[in-house]
Amino acid sequence: MAPEKGQTVAAGTGNVQCFPMIDSMLLLKNALCSGCWQALQERLAIDGYLLMRCMLPIADVLEARAFLLSELQRWQPQEAAVTTRYKWLRAVSPGEFTGLHTDRVFVGGSSPRLLTAWVPLGDVNIQHGPPLVCRGSHRLRAFDRLRGYAASRVGSDGTRSGWLSGDGSVLASVVGRYAVDWRTAPLRAGDVVVLGLDTYHMTACNVSSEARLSCDTRWQPAGDPRHPPLRDWR
């Protein structure tokens, strides 16, 4: 098998070597046909993210460009899911990025099954700043060194960024370079990146000349406890 090709990506103020995300769309199709979600759940448990290529109809995404919720609401595997009314709609300017973090420090503490669905609003190539996901970071022992940060709520009250760092390249020096497996992909309208609460991620720096448009949305089973600051769910 040919070795995977990595590329150097601007990870905030530093650079990281980044490998391609794995497309899980086939697993989703199999799950929808068979009703068995185990393979998909296992991949999320192992990698900490799922890339769903062409999960959403491209025409709808381009037409809406603001809200893809009607499509995401169809994504209800076993239990009814709820999503926060508030959506993190982003127009990220050239030169800007989101720093390294886990979502737990922002929205953790209630449902352990809360997931982020990151939706590009139009094509987001590497230079526009797609997510950079540290594969397996939610489960690898090496990341125990960050348990102080991981257990904190530094992002939850809006007074601090909640970032561990603005430079993705420092992660290797903290947890060891063998534990760090950066993943990214050029994303198309219709793709969705799903992220677990404890998966370390950031976005690549927008090194293009145009704004990066995307939306992050939060989802969880309807019966799970709801993060109080995110008041309004539906």
Ligand X SMILES: O=C(O)CCC(=O)C(=O)O
State how beta strands 192-195 and 115-120 pair: antiparallel
Least Cβ distance, residue 57 to ligand X (angstroms): 22
Instruction: Select 95 or 176, whichever has its Cβ closest to ligand X.
Output: 95
Whole-number Å distance between alpha carbons of 27 and 19? 20
Dihedrals phi, psi of 191, to nearest 5 degrees: -80, 155
Instruction: Select 103 or 180, whichever has its Cβ closest to ligand X.
Output: 103
Residue 234 carries which side chain, given as an amino acid letter?
A: R
Is the CB of residue 182 less than 8 Å from the CB of residue 18?
yes
State how beta strands 201-203 and 131-134 pair: antiparallel
Instruction: Select 30 or 110, whichever has its Cβ closest to ligand X.
Output: 110
Element housing 44 (H / E)? helix 38-47
Token pair for 217: 């949305």
Least Cβ distance, residue 130 to ligand X (angstroms): 9
State how beta strands 14-20 and 182-184 pair: parallel
Least Cβ distance, residue 7 to ligand X (angstroms): 20
Least Cβ distance, residue 129 to ligand X (angstroms): 7
Whole-number Å distance between alpha carbons of 86 and 13? 29
Residues near ligand X, by CB under 6 A: 90, 92, 98, 103, 116, 118, 201, 203, 214, 216
Instruction: Select 14 or 31, whichever has its Cβ closest to ligand X.
Output: 14
Instruction: Select 181 or 216, whichever has its Cβ closest to ligand X.
Output: 216
Least Cβ distance, residue 214 to ligand X (angstroms): 5
